[in-house]
Amino acid sequence: MYALKGLWIDNVLLLLCVAVEGLLGESQFRDVGLAQKQLLEDLLKLETVVRATPVSEATSRRVLGSLNGMRSGNATDRFHALIEAGVLEEDDRKTWKKYRNAVAHGSFEVDPDEVQKNLDAAYRLTGIIYKLVFMRIGYIGVHTNFSIRGWRVDRFDAQAYQAKLDARATCGEPEPS
């Protein structure tokens, strides 16, 4: 992506953020970050209260829609689960969220004094992409960590991370009905 001559940094950041979100939408990550048992139970209780509350149908639909959205994992939920498993870092999530929202919604402005921060963000986003691809292909081994200045060499163990994700998914799951 860095060889795409003539692109502004905001275009590069947008492409990287979209690539991260696209990878998080892959089948392997769809169930990552789904609601746990207690949240699902609480959502059912809240739905009962909303249905019994005398408000307009439109308001009720909106609230129930919001509650329903909390059942399925979104990119942020997936980030949290991947961070908990050690695949990603909290700074990865913060960088993705900060830049994704700004570049996707047109509020990102390039500050000439912040060029290095933008480049650091681009490299961090690249590192996220690598780690998600490593999970996807089951990679175990060393890699260059572009997220850290100096590009240190780190070890990645997709099987160990997947085991942590699997343990998280089975912990507190609701009983099948």
pLDDT category, 4, cuts 50, 70, 90?
low
In this structure, is residue 177 part of a structural domain? Answer: no
Same-domain status, 19 and 84: yes
- On the question of pLDDT at 35 being above 70, the answer is no
| Residue 36 pLDDT | 67
Residues 121 and 45 placed together within one structural domain of the fold: no
Are residues 137 and 62 part of one domain?
no
64/118 same-domain check: no
In this structure, the number of other CB atoms found within 10 A of the CB of residue 60 comes to 15
Confidence (pLDDT) at 167: 87
Domain boundary residue among 24, 49, 71?
A: 71
Q: Is residue 3 part of a domain?
A: no
pLDDT of the residue at 114: 79
Report yes or no on 142 lying in a domain.
yes
User: What distance in Å separates the CA atoms of residue 131 and residue 88, rounded to the nearest whole number?
Assistant: 7
**What's the pLDDT tens digit per position in 150-163?**
989 999 999 999 99
Which of these three, 24, 51, 71, is where a domain ends?
A: 71
Same domain, 56 and 110: no
The domain total for the chain is 2
Q: Is residue 103 part of a domain?
A: yes
Tell me, yes or no, whether 109 and 163 share the same domain. Answer: yes
2 domain residue, yes or no? no
Most trustworthy range by pLDDT among 7-11, 55-59, 69-73: 55-59
**pLDDT top residue among 112 and 94:** 94
Residue span of the structural domain in which 163 resides: 9-34+75-170
Are 23 and 99 in a shared domain? yes
Are residues 60 and 147 both part of a single domain?
no
- Predicted confidence at residue 115, as pLDDT, reads 83
- For 131-150, give the DSSP string: HHHHHHHT-EEEEE-TTSTT
Residue 175 in any domain: the answer is no
Q: Is the whole model's pTM more than 0.95, yes or no?
A: no
Is residue 72's pLDDT more than 70? no
Q: What is the mean pLDDT of residues 102-107?
A: 80
